[in-house]
Structure 1
Amino acid sequence: MSLPDWPVLKLAGPERDERTNRHLAYLLAWVAGVLNSVGFVAVGFYTSHMTGITASVADHLVLAGWRLVGLGVVSIVFFILGAMTCAIQFNWARRRHRSDRFAIVLLTEALLVLLLGGIADQFTWRHREWPLVAVLCFVMGLQNALITKVSDATIRTTHVTGMITDIGIELGKSAYRDRMVDTDPVRGDLAKLTMLAMLVGLFFLGGVLGALGYLALGFVVLLVPAALLLVVAVPPLVDDVP
């Protein structure tokens, strides 16, 4: 069975090029923004920012803020577990020469987000933040590892600090004026700058829409990114069926 020639249905397919990788990263950056903002508005905890979380664990360890220390440790552990799961699934599929190795990881993310969107509003106990943070961080680690695999570690979808740093570097290269005639000219990479700005912008847009959606609908808003992930993940899985 072959996929229709629709670009969106091929984002998780086996045929990769720079454009396909970039568009998959755009989708995942938007999804990450939605998940991150829903986590914060719901339980007051960001789930994509491992640098900040690690710093928070260190600070609250000194200040004896044991709840935040515990949440931070859970966040880091489940982010790592998500990345590990991506590596396991990807390499299992690759060793079996499956063409849906990227789609399998995306399907896992889609199902987890779908489950969270469907049942999280039923979490009414006092410490509901623990399972929510664990699942969201697992998903963040999963998708960040996936785009790392897909792009050979050239693109991230949650590391906004690194992306903004790279934007500054490219702007600096663009602003630099050579005075040495015999040296290689310094040129900013406009394509890279555009991609980085799009990733940051989509993460931000996802955050705005995620926060607004959660305030209006609750965790049901997560069904939207889950549905988009399924649209991308399912066709390559179907295509791999003999």
Structure 2
Amino acid sequence: MAFSAGIINIVGLIGFGRETVSHLTGNTSLLAEEIAKGSVSGALHYLVVILSFFVGAVVSGMIIRDSELLLGRRYSVVLVLIATLLVSAVPLLNAQAQAGMYAAAAACGLQNAMVTTYSGATIRTAHLTGMFTDLGIFIGHRLRGLPVDVRRIRISLTVITGFLCGGIAGTLLYSAVQNRAMYVPAGISLAAAAAYWRIRVRAPKSGA
């Protein structure tokens, strides 16, 4: 999922004027700048990007409805929605329509909320601030000789590496196929949905 997010974000950065679709901190700062400059259109644009991400998170919460990783949860539904939004974003981005960014932002909100839900708020895939913060804390603890959670260190490194590799892959893909690079994370989401559905079908029936 972090790899997919890396591709999505880099396509937005390269293809839409260096604008991010998954980092709400930066977009909130840009919104503040546009408001301060009195630019109604600019402020509205960044507000819609932020709201698109937020609505994606809301929809994910409505679909999954719980904070435990259980086979009964409808993760496949969220994954298919993510893929649908990413596929729909391609023709919009090709037409330089801002709606393409909004669709990609909503997909990031869906994905980030889904991962946050089943990880108990310990993992984010659409941005790395928390992962770098956790990694820094753990290294600081290690340097002081304090006990650290090795599993969390591995998770942080895995997410950071996945996002970075996704950004690299996304850059190469964009140079080759432009906005159609979005089809790759869409395909990853669909593959994950199919894999989850298959595991769920094969799992022994329980009361969960």
User: How far did residue 68 of structure 1 move?
Assistant: 2.9
5+ residue gaps in structure 2? 203-208
For 1:58 and 1:122, the matched residues in 2 are separated by 28
For 2:159 and 2:195, the matched residues in 1 are separated by 24
Correspondence for 2:35: 61
For 1:76 and 1:115, the matched residues in 2 are separated by 19
Which range moves more in the overlay, 232-241 or 212-221? 232-241
**Equivalent AA in structure 2 for residue 199 of structure 1:** V
Correspondence for 2:64: 90
User: How far did residue 100 of structure 1 move?
Assistant: 5.2
| Equivalent residue in structure 2 for 1:228, among 188, 194, 198 | 188
Give the 4+ runs in structure 1 shifted more than 4 A: 238-241
**Equivalent AA in structure 2 for residue 64 of structure 1:** G
- Indicate if the aligned counterparts of 2:85 and 2:106 stay in contact, CA closer than 8 A: no
Q: Please tell me the root mean square deviation across aligned C-alpha atoms, in Å.
A: 2.3
- Indicate if the aligned counterparts of 2:64 and 2:73 stay in contact, CA closer than 8 A: no
Q: Give TM-score scaled by structure 1 length.
A: 0.75
Correspondence for 1:194: 154
- Indicate if the aligned counterparts of 1:71 and 1:133 stay in contact, CA closer than 8 A: no
User: How far did residue 188 of structure 1 move?
Assistant: 2.4
- Indicate if the aligned counterparts of 2:34 and 2:40 stay in contact, CA closer than 8 A: yes
For 1:71 and 1:150, the matched residues in 2 are separated by 31
For these two proteins, the number of residue pairs brought into alignment is 198
Correspondence for 1:99: 72
Alignment partner of 1:153 is 2:127:
no
Correspondence for 2:48: 74
Q: Give TM-score scaled by structure 2 length.
A: 0.86
User: How far did residue 116 of structure 1 move?
Assistant: 2.7
| Equivalent residue in structure 1 for 2:138, among 170, 174, 188 | 170
For 1:91 and 1:202, the matched residues in 2 are separated by 27
User: How far did residue 153 of structure 1 move?
Assistant: 1.2
- Indicate if the aligned counterparts of 2:138 and 2:149 stay in contact, CA closer than 8 A: yes
Alignment partner of 1:39 is 2:42:
no
| Superposed counterparts of 1:117-128, under 5 Å | 117=90, 119-120=91-92, 122-123=94-95, 128=97
Alignment partner of 1:136 is 2:104:
yes
- Indicate if the aligned counterparts of 1:99 and 1:240 stay in contact, CA closer than 8 A: no
5+ residue gaps in structure 1? 1-27, 178-185
User: How far did residue 143 of structure 1 move?
Assistant: 0.5
For 2:44 and 2:36, the matched residues in 1 are separated by 13
Percent identity, aligned pairs only? 29
* SS at 1:48 equivalent: coil
User: How far did residue 98 of structure 1 move?
Assistant: 7.8
For 2:23 and 2:163, the matched residues in 1 are separated by 12
Larger Rg: 1
For 2:131 and 2:201, the matched residues in 1 are separated by 34
